[in-house]
Amino acid sequence: MAKTKSKKTKKECPPDKVFYVCNGQVLKNIDEMLYALQKMDDGAFRHHVHDGKNDFSNWLKDVFKEVELAEKIKKVMDKNHIVEIVKTSGVASIKK
């Protein structure tokens, strides 16, 4: 099962489904999303996550079909908390 999850997260999304971060980064998979979140400044994070909006949750649900994980982070407003939820979910290969 772990192999399937790892392959799934390293799989890049189609070019028309990449995540364009407001700071110019382009994300193609869940591991890249995690790495970007860990380095992202608060302003960029708040652009994508605020009351009533969570672009990361939407991307996980719509592009990667990670509905359960998307629901877990949907209302989380803290970047570090989102990172920990995704890391412990088993869908990312980044664990640290």
The whole-number pLDDT of residue 94 equals: 76
- In this predicted model, what pLDDT tens digit does every residue of 31-75 receive, in sequence order? 999 999 999 999 999 999 999 899 999 999 999 999 999 999 999
Q: Which pLDDT band, with edges at 50, 70 and 90, does 93 fall under?
A: confident
Closest CA to 94 of 24, 14, 36: 36
Task: Yes or no: say if 35 and 57 are a contact pair by the CB < 8 Å rule.
Answer: no
Q: What percent of the chain has pLDDT over 90?
A: 81
Tokens of 6: 């790892």
Asked whether the beta carbons of 29 and 8 are under 8 A apart, the reply is: no
Instruction: Name the CA dihedral angle for 86, 87, 93, 95, rounded to a multiple of 10 degrees.
Output: 170
Q: What is the pTM of this model?
A: 0.88
Measure the CA–CA gap between 15 and 34, rounded to whole angstroms.
19
Count CB atoms within 10 A of the CB of residue 75. Answer: 11
Measured at the alpha carbon of residue 50, what is the angle toward residues 42 and 31, in degrees to the nearest 5? 60
pLDDT over threshold 50, residue 3: no
Q: What is the mean pLDDT of the chain?
A: 90
